[in-house]
Amino acid sequence: MNQLFDLAGQVAIVTGTSRGLGQYFGRALARAGADLVITSRHLESLSSFEEEIRSLGRRVLPLELDVRNRPSIERMVAQADAAFGRIDILVNNAGCNVRKPALEVSWEDWNLVLDTNLRGSFFVAQAVARRMIPRGYGRIINIGSVTSVAGYAGLGPYGASRGGIRQLTMSLADEWGRHGITVNCLAPGWFRTEQNKVLYENEKWVEYLCDRIPLKRPGEPPDLDGALVFLASESSRYVTGQLLLVDGGISTGATRAMVQKTA
């Protein structure tokens, strides 16, 4: 492996690894050489993924984490640091969505999405940065979305949270850069996940979507591997505060036509 992309000897925390893209992120980092801390609100949901990472020859520590609960965040980070003695990489992946027309979004819906996606990401990053700063090194990767730059009907709270992640990324990059910490935002486009799988059951919707993606297909999880490892490794040592869209090109402007037709 090119040394610029080699993560051997490094320790990565990936939040929200019980399913979906979180597991793909963890798998990509492990294949690049990193040991992992994997998290979920329910430890039993991590057992099979834990075994998979061990089979790759990596150390792995499953920990309970609820990103909406600050003591849970502090406890997880302290346990990770105590077990490995270092935290080099954070992938802020844990998130949720409530898909509703704006007029139907409740106070509770808003709080759930923003508390999980935005507030949770900030306080996890804060807790991890407190360990990174004394060492003068760190890679923080916040997971955003194409909704960080584009609006979609029915995704008001989610889009607000992902737009906030983009701004948060820039603020933290500006503040922590002097400590050798880079902070970037990896923003997937339309990938099939647990959050949106119902959309992909509609063949006409998928056809419509693909027509507006310049590469003519939705994303597949392996499409994110290279971007993730790039941002986690020495190859991105002079890259910080950036939004890296991995979206097949839909953010080039085709998005506007899609929004207009579905509004």
Report CA Rg, the chain. 18
Angle 92-97-98 (CA atoms, 0-180°, nearest 5)? Answer: 160
| Catalytic pick among 24, 137, 152, 158 | 158
Rounded to an integer, what is the distance from CA 45 to the centroid of its chain? 19
Closest CA to 246 of 230, 262, 259: 230
Q: At CA 238, angle to CA 233 and CA 241, rounded to 5?
A: 95
- If residue 209 lies in a helix (H) or strand (E), which one and from where to where? helix 203-212
Tell me the C-alpha to C-alpha distance, in Å, between residue 127 and each of 56, 66, 87, 117, 184.
28, 14, 11, 16, 17
In three-state secondary structure terms, 53 is helix
Q: Would you call 137 a catalytic residue per the annotation?
A: no
Does residue 16 sit in helix, strand or coil? coil
DSSP of 237-251: TT--S-EEEESTTGG
Would you please indicate which residues are annotated as catalytic (active-site) residues? 158
